A and B are shown apart, each in its own frame.
Chain A
Amino acid sequence: MSMSAPVLEVERLRVHYLTRFGTRVQAVDDVSFQLNKGEILGIAGESGCGKTTLVSGCMGLFIPPLYHSSGDVRIGGQSIIGMDREQIRRDVLGRKIAMIPQGALNSLNPTRRVKDLATDMIVSHDDRAGKREISERLRERFERIGLDAKRVLDAFPVELPAGTKQRVVIGISTLLNPELVIADEPTSALDVSTQKSVIRLLFDLMDRGIISSMIFITHELPLLRHVSSSIAVMYAGEFVEYGSTEQVIFDAQQPYTRALMGSMLSADAGQRGKKPVAIEGAPPDLKNVIVGCRFAERCPSVRSDCAQHKQELRVVQLRKVRCQYA
C-alpha cells in the first residue's frame, strides 16, 4: 500500500430528499466505504434502493430536492462537502470523477455531432485549448477505444448503433483521464454480447492507466463476480453486506443478499432447471422512520425481534453484515 490518500472516502454519509410537502425521505443512510487506486467496487440492489442517489452524493451533486444530511465525502483526501457547485464542476467532475449515466443511450444531445459534444467536454474545463489540438486529441482517444474515429466523430448520435453509442459516452466521459469512473448500470439496456464488449472496454481503460478505479452499479449481482474486486449490497438506503466479491457471491451471510442471488437465473449446466425465486413484497417506504431491520417484512428467516432492534453493520466472517442473526 502506498501512502497516498484513497481515491474516494465516504464516511457515514446520509443524504435525503425533501418532497413538495416537506416530507423527508432518507434515501441514503449511514454509508461508509473507501476506494483505493486500482479497485473496482460493485454496488448491487433493487431499483429504488438508493444506488444512484448514493453516487450523486459521492460527486457532491446536491441539487434540490436532494440534500446532504450528514457525513463526509473526500476525494484524494480533500472534502467536497460544502464546496460550491461551480467549483465542483470545474475541479472535480470530469477531472477526478466521471460518471457514465444510467440512460447512456439517451444522454447524447441528438441535435449535435459527436465531435461537438466531445469538444464541449474539453473546452468546459480548459478554455485555452486550441482547435487543432482538440481535434487531434479526440481522434487519438477515439481510435484508442476501438472506434472508427473519423466516421464516429462526424456522426450524429442517432446514426450510431447502441454499442457504439455506449462507447462514445464512455469515451467522452473519460476524456480528461479522471481517477474514478462511476458507471451507473452501463450495460443494462444492452444485449449480452454488447455488454461484454463494453465491460472489456472499461477494463481496457483501467489497464492503460486512463482511469484508475471504478464504481460499478448494477442490479445483476452475478455480473459483478466478473467485474468488481469488492461488492456492497444495498437495501432501502443502507449497505446490508459489504465484502470481497468471492465472499458476497459464493458465501453470502445476509438474508437479503441470499434472496437476491436466489432470484437470479443461471444458464450454467449444473444450475439449469433451478427455479429463480422472486422476493415477494416491496421495500419499506423511507418516508417513515424505520426502527428495526428494514428487510424484516420480506425476510424468509425473520425472527420476532428483528423489527424492534436497530441493526448495525458488524463483522461476520471477514465482511460487514447488517443482520443480528447472520
Chain B
Amino acid sequence: MPELKFQARDVSRVFGHGKRAKVAVDRVSFEIRDREIVSLVGQSGCGKTVLSKLLLRIDAPTSGELSFNGQPLAKVSDPRQHFRKVQAVFQDPFSAFNQFFTIRSQLESCFHLFEPKPSKSEIAERVDAALLAVNIKPREIDGKYAFELSGGQMQRMLLARIFIIRPEVLIADEPTSMVDACSRASILDYLMKLKQELAMTIVFVTHDVGLACYVSDTIFIMHQGQIVERGAPERVTGAPESPVTRQLLDDIPDVHRNWLERGERASG
C-alpha cells in the first residue's frame, strides 16, 4: 500500500456567518495516495476550486482535519515549505504570469524556493531542460513577455515551472479549459509525463467527466460541496450511482449519441 499524500477528515469551508453562511465544502473525507491521479469533477460552483485551495494551503478549512504526508496542515508554519512540495497550475494562463517581467526571469525566480539556491549557470541549464520537456525551444522565448505567447504556449510555460520545481503533488485546476482542443491533447500528454517521469501525485480539477476519465485513477464527483460519488473511472462512467454523475455524463456533447433535440424547450 503506497503512502498517503493527503488525508481529509470532515473538512468544511464555510464563508460568512449565521444566516448568510455559505457552505462551499461540506464535511468531505478522502485520501489521496502517492502517485495517484485524482480528479475532482463537478459543475461550476460545486466547491472543487475551494477544496483545491485548501489542499494548496492558501486557504484553511473552517472545521475538520486536513493533513499532508501525515502532518496536519494547520501546523505548517512556513507556507514555503508546503509550496515546495505542492504546486498548482490554474485555469487562466494569462493571469498567472506577471506582465512586466520576461517569462524567463519568472521561470528563474522559481529557484527562490530552493535551499540552497543553485548557481546561475545551473539555473539556466535547468530552465532550458524544463522548456525542452514541454517541447519549447529555449531560444524561442528569450526576452519574451507573457502577452507575446498564445494560450497553449502559456499553459506549457506553467507546466515548465512544474518541471523545474518538481513538487510531490501537482494541483491542476481546469488546466485545459482556456486552451483550444488541439493544445488540450498536448497538455494532457505532459501531465501523464509528469506522473511517469517524476512520480508526481496529481489532483486534476475539471468539469468534464470525459477528460477526468482519460487521465485519472480515481474520480471524485462533487455536488454542492460534498463528494457524492467516488471510484475508478470505468466504474463511475460505466455504472454511475449518483444522479449528479449521470447528469454530467449526459451533458457531454458526444458525437455518437443524441445530445439535444431541436424543439426541446428552454428551461429556467
Residues of A at the B interface (CB closer than 8 Å) are 46-48, 145-148, 161-162, 188-197, 199-201, 203-204, 207, 219-223, 225-226, 249-250, 259-260, 263-272, 276-280, 282
Q: Contact at A278–B213, with CB atoms within 8 Å?
A: no
Q: How far is the CB of B201 from chain A (nearest CB, A)?
A: 22
Contact-size category for B: 35 or more
Q: Bound complex: CA of A46 vs CA of B179, how far in Å?
A: 9
Q: Contact at B251–A271, with CB atoms within 8 Å?
A: no
Contact residues in A for B265 (Cβ distance below 8 Å): 200, 204
Q: Contact at B252–A267, with CB atoms within 8 Å?
A: yes
Contact residues in A for B232 (Cβ distance below 8 Å): none
Q: Contact at A222–B44, with CB atoms within 8 Å?
A: no
B residues 239-268 in Cβ contact with A at 8 Å? 247-249, 251-257, 259-260, 262-268
Contact residues in B for A194 (Cβ distance below 8 Å): 43-44
Q: Bound complex: CA of A200 vs CA of B264, how far in Å?
A: 7
Residues of B at the A interface (CB closer than 8 Å) are 43-45, 135, 150-152, 177, 179-186, 188-189, 207-211, 213-214, 234, 237-238, 247-249, 251-257, 259-260, 262-268
Instruction: Give the residue name and chain of the B residue nearest to A206 (CB).
Output: B262
Once A46-B180, A191-B44, A222-B254 are accepted as A-B contacts, the answer to whether A266 and B210 lie under 8 Å apart by CB is: yes
Q: Contact at A192–B248, with CB atoms within 8 Å?
A: yes
Q: Contact at B210–A260, with CB atoms within 8 Å?
A: no
Partner of A260, one of B181, B186, B209, B267: B181
Once A147-B268, A267-B209 are accepted as A-B contacts, the answer to whether A278 and B180 lie under 8 Å apart by CB is: no
- Is chain B's interface secondary structure helix, strand, loop, or mixed overall? loop
Q: Contact at B251–A192, with CB atoms within 8 Å?
A: yes
Contact residues in B for A188 (Cβ distance below 8 Å): 177
Q: Bound complex: CA of A267 vs CA of B248, how far in Å?
A: 11
Instruction: Give the residue name and chain of the B residue nearest to A163 (CB).
Output: B44
Contact residues in A for B255 (Cβ distance below 8 Å): 222, 225, 249-250, 266, 268
Q: Bound complex: CA of A265 vs CA of B189, how far in Å?
A: 13
Once A193-B247, A277-B185 are accepted as A-B contacts, the answer to whether A204 and B256 lie under 8 Å apart by CB is: no
Once A200-B266, A264-B181, A267-B237 are accepted as A-B contacts, the answer to whether A195 and B151 lie under 8 Å apart by CB is: no
| 24 interchain pairs, CB-CB under 8 A | A46-B183, A47-B179, A47-B180, A146-B268, A188-B177, A191-B43, A192-B252, A192-B253, A196-B260, A199-B260, A203-B264, A204-B265, A225-B253, A260-B181, A265-B184, A265-B210, A265-B211, A267-B254, A269-B238, A272-B237, A277-B185, A279-B185, A280-B135, A280-B186
Q: Contact at A203–B181, with CB atoms within 8 Å?
A: no
Q: Bound complex: CA of A197 vs CA of B251, how far in Å?
A: 9
Q: Bound complex: CA of A175 vs CA of B181, how far in Å?
A: 32
Q: Bound complex: CA of A277 vs CA of B44, how far in Å?
A: 28
Contact residues in A for B182 (Cβ distance below 8 Å): 46, 219, 259-260, 263, 278-279
Contact residues in B for A162 (Cβ distance below 8 Å): 44
Q: Contact at B251–A196, with CB atoms within 8 Å?
A: yes
Once A220-B253, A265-B210, A265-B214 are accepted as A-B contacts, the answer to whether A193 and B177 lie under 8 Å apart by CB is: no
Identify the 6 closest CB pairs spanning chains A and B, nearest first.
A267-B210, A278-B186, A191-B207, A278-B185, A276-B185, A219-B180
Contact residues in A for B189 (Cβ distance below 8 Å): 278
